[in-house]
Structure 1
Amino acid sequence: MSRKAALFRIGRDERGATAIEFAFVAPVMFFALMSLLEIGMLGMMSSGLDNAVVETSRLLRTGRDEGATSADAFEIQICERIGGRYASCRDRVTVGVQRFTRFSDANAVAADQPDGQFNRGQAGDIIVVKVNYRWPLMTPFLATAYGREGPMEVTLGSRVAFKNEPYE
């Protein structure tokens, strides 16, 4: 067999072509699947955080005895309602509960980050509850691909403003 005929035969051989094509497509496909899963998890976590903040804030709004009396107690109540690993929740959550006399004053600080202060106010006071939760991403390898160092995480925020009920 001549050298030219051998090269021609090798050039027409298509065995293994599918495996090579899959090797090119697989990383993109797996990235897309992981991204969809990640977006779903973020949506569920954001909804769970909002629900936990509303339920825990209701204890403050109604003046219930089991309502938190400190920022630490408020964090504990939030983490109990979020579910999951309690210890990691406490490391990731930041709260702030502020008292105001007018809604316009409360509106001015609603977008600020929670600072750990806690003032549940009295009956008739306006309260703004701010909670942030740092959620670690499942796809941290993307950070290193773009030269970013450190943990990859997203901060989920939940805000509630209300006027305390006349519970006195």
Structure 2
Amino acid sequence: MSLRAFRRDDVGATAIEFAFVAPMAIALIIATIEVGMLEVVSSNLDAAVMDVARKIRTGASDRPANTTALVDMICANMVESSADCHARLKTSVQVTPNFADAGPAAGAAATGQFNAGGAGDIVLVRATYTWPLILPMYAGNFQLAGPTQAILDTRAAFRNEPYA
């Protein structure tokens, strides 16, 4: 085969072009799925914490009485296994003197304390969930906890109802 014929031969060009494009396309598909999962888990965490916060706020008979019960209630509403949830979830519930003090406290990390207060108390519930990442460079606006983990946070501040 002459050099001129070799240059005109385009057999296999599509395979070579696919070899260049395929890794980027696969990474984009995986990143899209991963960001979607992050959004689902974040929304799921928000809903679980709001459900537990409502039980605390209203003084429901099945409200959590300690940190273990709080984590159990939140993990019961999460999408993944209970064991994984318990390992990745950090919570705290604390009473604050007023809503102005709840703002700075909400920015702090969850410490594991539990004080649901009483009727009329202002309560802050914090939950932080660590989620493993496959492609951390595509995590978007999520806060990262190291190179392969995203941190999902949710907070709820409220005044307990005047329950008896």
TM-score normalised by L of structure 2: 0.90
Please list the CA deviations of residues 5-32 of structure 1 after superposition, one character each: whole Å capped at 9, or x if unmatched. 6111111110000000000000111111
1:33 and 2:50 matched: no
User: What residue number does 1:85 align with?
Assistant: 81
Gapped runs of 5+ residues in structure 2?
A: 139-145
Matches of 1:126 and 1:85 in 2, distance apart? 32
2:122 counterpart letter in structure 1? I
Output one character per residue of 1:51-89: Cα deviation in whole Å (capped at 9) or x when no partner: 000001111111112111111110110000113211000
Q: Does 1:61 align with 2:80?
A: no
TM-score (norm 1): 0.88
Q: Say yes or no: does 1:158 pair with 2:154.
A: yes
Equivalent residues in 2 for 1:1-168, closer than 5 Å: 6-139=2-135, 152-168=148-164
Does the CA contact (< 8 Å) of 1:92 and 1:134 recur in 2?
yes
Name structure 1 gaps, 5 residues minimum.
143-149
Deviates more, 1:32-41 or 1:15-24: 32-41
- Higher mean alpha-carbon deviation, 101-110 vs 84-93, is at 101-110
User: How many residues were matched structurally?
Assistant: 157
Q: Which has the larger radius of gyration?
A: 1
Aligned AA (1:96): S
Which amino acid in the other structure matches residue 19 of structure 1? A
Q: Which runs of 4+ in 1 moved over 4 A?
A: none
